[in-house]
Amino acid sequence: MTTFDADLVVVGLGAMGAATTYHAAKAGLRVIGIDQFAPPHNLGSTHGETRITRLAVGEGPQYLPFVARAHEIWRDLEAATGETLFHQSGGLLVTEQHAVPGQRWEDFAHVTKAIADDAGIDFSIETPADVRQRYPMYQIPDDYRVGFEPTAGLVMAERAVAAQLVEAQRHGAQVRTGQRVTDVRHDATGVDVRTTTGSVRASHVVLATGPWIHDLAPRSLAETITITRQIILFFEVEDLSRYTTDRLPWMMWIAPQDEDYVGVFPAPPGGSRALKFVGEQFVETTTPDTVLRTVSVDEISDYYEQLLVPKVSGVTPNCIKAEVCLYANTVDDHFLIDHHPDTDRIMVMSPCSGHGFKHSTALGEAVAQQLVSGDSDLDLSPFATK
């Protein structure tokens, strides 16, 4: 008879891993969560204070049930922990009037509008003039198209991870930090997880290792994933009260070229006293071990002058904080959540192509449900390898 140290070992405790650990422990499984660092930390994909969430997910209707459920779970976690995790600021999608077919984002505002209408989500196409009147700091030209979702908002990233790990432990999970997993081996009866401090045996393992996917995931899955470096910048503004989550929606300014993308995040209560900006690029790849983790003065200056100033007014050139974030990207920008090709005892659920946080807690719940009963309330099959 096989003796297990745990029903489930979760490797990696960022957004996906913390969520899975929490929901599995809440469902009654004996869970051990392992991370080589001390999450929440700023070395992977789950940091930078806030993450965008939107019920109208233009990336595809398969995502909508997960983000809707995630909004419910954030509120449940707030009630359980006393932490404020979700700020309903509303959100703006800004795109060019005439997107070229085949571009990564294409006409994202109209695509999102169609998906929202089918799902009964409040989403409207606004004129740039109307948006400028309500939010004069957003300098949107008249030849652009703007989509607005009032139910969108921001999730406090590090707080959400920390809250789920606290709740996981309250439900009996073990959280082991400062331990690097060196090997994961399966046989007919279970999985051995070897770490720098020992080993554990479990019935099942979830690999939620994010940009470290190449270290442990099977080659057939990992070789399709690229890791890209993104920058997160916090700039001071002239009057912070005009840029808070209760007065300003976030904005995704989507350009034909990925490197011209601008994400604007209003300031949440208790957060940094600055406006957060992000960029995106998917050309230059890296690894967690070799990535440049500092943001240069030239990068900050170029972003401010070339991308920020033409789009948002009232922002000073004083960058009070700069961080690097890592995306684990699939070839089609969709998620990869699937079993190891050789065993159903190991699941890989990390590569989220930069848009996974908003869904993460609902995905963790669905994976936990599958482990408990063999099925889940929400359909994970769209994220399996084809």
Measured CA to CA, the distance from residue 312 to residue 264 in angstroms comes to 9
Please report, for residues 18, 22, 174, 188, 278, the alpha-carbon distance to residue 6 in angstroms, rounded to integers and kept in the order given: 16, 14, 9, 16, 39
The single-letter code of the amino acid at 229 is R
3-class DSSP state for residue 150? coil
pLDDT recorded at residue 74: 98
Instruction: Give backbone dihedrals phi and psi of 316, rounded to 5 degrees, phi first.
Output: -85, 165
pLDDT recorded at residue 103: 62
DSSP 325-350: EEEEE-TTSS---EEETTEEEEEE--
pLDDT recorded at residue 101: 57
CB 284 within 8 A of CB 228: yes
- Alpha-carbon 179 to chain mean position: 23
Characterize the bridge pairing of strands 6-11 and 198-207.
parallel
Instruction: Give backbone dihedrals phi and psi of 95, rounded to 5 degrees, phi first.
Output: -135, 165
Pinpoint the alpha helices (H) of the chain: 15-26, 64-81, 108-119, 128-134, 157-170, 213-216, 219-222, 297-302, 360-373
Tell me which residues of the chain have a pLDDT lower than 70: 1-2, 98-105, 386
Residue 344 token pair: 């159903």
pLDDT recorded at residue 365: 98
Characterize the bridge pairing of strands 91-96 and 250-253.
parallel
Measured CA to CA, the distance from residue 360 to residue 351 in angstroms comes to 11
Phi-psi region of 84 (alpha: psi -120 to 50; beta: other; left: phi over 0): beta
pLDDT recorded at residue 156: 98
pLDDT recorded at residue 125: 97
Whose structure tokens read 């939107």? Answer: 54
pLDDT recorded at residue 257: 83
Measured CA to CA, the distance from residue 7 to residue 23 in angstroms comes to 13
The pTM (predicted TM-score) of the whole model is 0.97
pLDDT recorded at residue 336: 95
Query: Would you state the torsion angle of the CA atoms of residues 282, 288, 289, 294, taken in this order, to the nearest 10 degrees?
Result: 70
Of residues 38, 40, 62, 58, the one with CA closest to residue 49: 40
pLDDT recorded at residue 255: 85
